[in-house]
Structure 1
Amino acid sequence: MPSKVVNPKPADNADALAHFQRLLSFETDCWDVHYALNNNLHDFVLLDVRGLDTARRGYIAGAVLLPYPSINEAALQAYPDDTVFVVYCAGPHCNATEKAAIKLARLGRPVKKMIGGVTGWLDEGFTLVS
């Protein structure tokens, strides 16, 4: 009897390739964000979408603090329509990134999620500022 790991069987290679390539259009990781921020690759805006009190206790240098309930057209008007926003929150246990991404997508703004959030950032050995 096969394990639940392999039953159902994995997707065929073409489906797996399409799935994982598509997944990268929705997500980025802490390493890629850290590398970009530290190598002058500023082709996105990093948004900390947690509450301001929480975010001010420690956030990623270079991030814009914009709690997800505050995301609206007025809050984004300083950014060109094609600005790519990368959202992050506390970590895998927090769904503020999804709430923020939904709002940004509804406003027609390109968006990705930084998987891991602050928890992932710290797990990688990166620091926060306050």
Structure 2
Amino acid sequence: MSSVVSRVAAASSQIAKRHFASLLSLETDCWDTHFAISNNRQDFVLLDVRNALLFNQGHLPNAINLPHKNISVESLQNFPIDTLFVVYCAGPHCNGADKAALKLAELERPVKKMIGGITGWLDEGFELVAQET
């Protein structure tokens, strides 16, 4: 007797390998982002793509605020063309990071989405920093 899980056969190892490699080329997670920041290994620009008010209330360490609607050739001009951007928004219920990632990709910029966003960051027990005023 099969379960609901196994009723549909798993993909072949080759298909699974391509799929998961593709996901990892597009996404990172809160733990890996935190590790890079905490160990001075941040080789990416961390973009908080929410609005300035939310950013000022609390954001990830070392993040800069660039709302997704403001991503443009002009707003990226100070970053080398090969800069890797890691984008995040409020969390899984928000598609701002997806919108930002799409814009960056359309501008031919390397990009990954940090899955979980602020919600995931806090769920993992990491802290936010508030913008100094």
CA RMSD, Structure 1 to Structure 2 (Å): 1.0
Tell me the distance in 2 between the aligned counterparts of 1:42 and 1:125. Answer: 20
Q: CA-to-partner distance for each residue in 1:52-111, whole Å, 9 max, x for gaps?
A: 111111101100100000000110000000000000000000000100000000000000
Q: Tell me the number of residue pairs that the alignment of Structure 1 and Structure 2 aligns.
A: 130
Q: Counterpart of 1:101?
A: 101
Amino acid at match of 2:72: N
TM-score by length of 1: 0.96
Q: In the alignment, is residue 124 of structure 1 matched against residue 124 of structure 2?
A: yes
Tell me the distance in 1 between the aligned counterparts of 2:95 and 2:10. Answer: 28
Q: Counterpart of 1:111?
A: 111
Deviates more, 1:50-59 or 1:3-12: 3-12
User: Which consecutive residues of structure 1, in runs of 5 or more, have no partner in the other structure?
Assistant: none
How much does 1:14 deviate? 1.2
Q: Counterpart of 1:47?
A: 47
Q: Counterpart of 1:22?
A: 22
Q: Counterpart of 2:32?
A: 32
Tell me the distance in 1 between the aligned counterparts of 2:42 and 2:28. Answer: 14
TM-score by length of 2: 0.94
User: Which consecutive residues of structure 2, in runs of 5 or more, have no partner in the other structure?
Assistant: none
Q: Counterpart of 2:74?
A: 74
Alignment of 1:77-96 (within 5 A): 77-96=77-96
Amino acid at match of 2:54: T
Tell me the distance in 1 between the aligned counterparts of 2:124 and 2:104. Answer: 27
Deviates more, 1:63-72 or 1:34-43: 34-43
Amino acid at match of 1:116: G
